[in-house]
Structure 1
Amino acid sequence: MIANTLLNQSDIVKENPGSTEAQICILTQKVASLTSHLKMHNKDYSSQRGLRKILGKRKRLLAYLYRQDTLRYDKLINQLGIRGTRKRSAG
């Protein structure tokens, strides 16, 4: 999954590096890196704080993308394999 995600990320970032999708992809890559680091160094509190900040920024960008264009939002979360931040009503 990680290799597939990296391929998707590089395509999105090359296409338009400043877009919301590209920023979310880069943050997702940082989250994966920090998560693997914290599995080995679980008392690294500075990295834990950095991870929480990155997750918050990614959450805000995902919320913005959801408000602007739900189709792009759905496509991106499916490509990256992450959970969505917004719940849709059934009706």
Structure 2
Amino acid sequence: MTQNISIRQRQKFRQDCGSPEAQISFLTVRVLRISSHLKMHIKDYSSKRGLRKVLGTRKRLLSYLCREDVSRYNKLLNNLGIRPIKK
């Protein structure tokens, strides 16, 4: 439910699932879901690996968005409440 709401807020049009904003918000929802799972299952190493993989993908998309349009990047960071990437 929160995943659909989060992505709908970032979509440019109704069926937008490929824009960087939509992809980053989708990955952020996945990060939150995996993180909450890891709080209960501390030794789930497969999920830890999956979390690192999702974080890497999100970081690459954030750096792409920062290169292309800084204003959209800053707006997305404020809306999602995530820290900026290190340059």
TM over 0.5, shorter chain = yes
Cα separation, 1, equivalents of 2:78 and 2:7: 12
Deviation, structure 1 residue 12: 1.4
TM-score relative to the length of structure 1: 0.83
Contiguous gaps of at least 5 residues in structure 2: none
- 1:35 counterpart letter in structure 2: S
Contact 2:6-2:26 within 8 A present in 1 as well: no
Cα separation, 1, equivalents of 2:58 and 2:12: 19
1:22 aligns with 2:39: no
Cα separation, 2, equivalents of 1:76 and 1:5: 16
Deviations 1:21-74 (A, max 9, x none): 100000000000000000000100000000000000000000000000000000
Cα separation, 1, equivalents of 2:70 and 2:3: 20
Contiguous gaps of at least 5 residues in structure 1: none
**With CA pairs under 8 Å and 6+ residues apart, which has the higher RCO, 1 or 2?**
1
- 1:11 counterpart letter in structure 2: Q
What residue number does 1:63 align with? 63
Aligned residues: 85
4+ residue stretches of structure 1 with deviation over 6 A? none
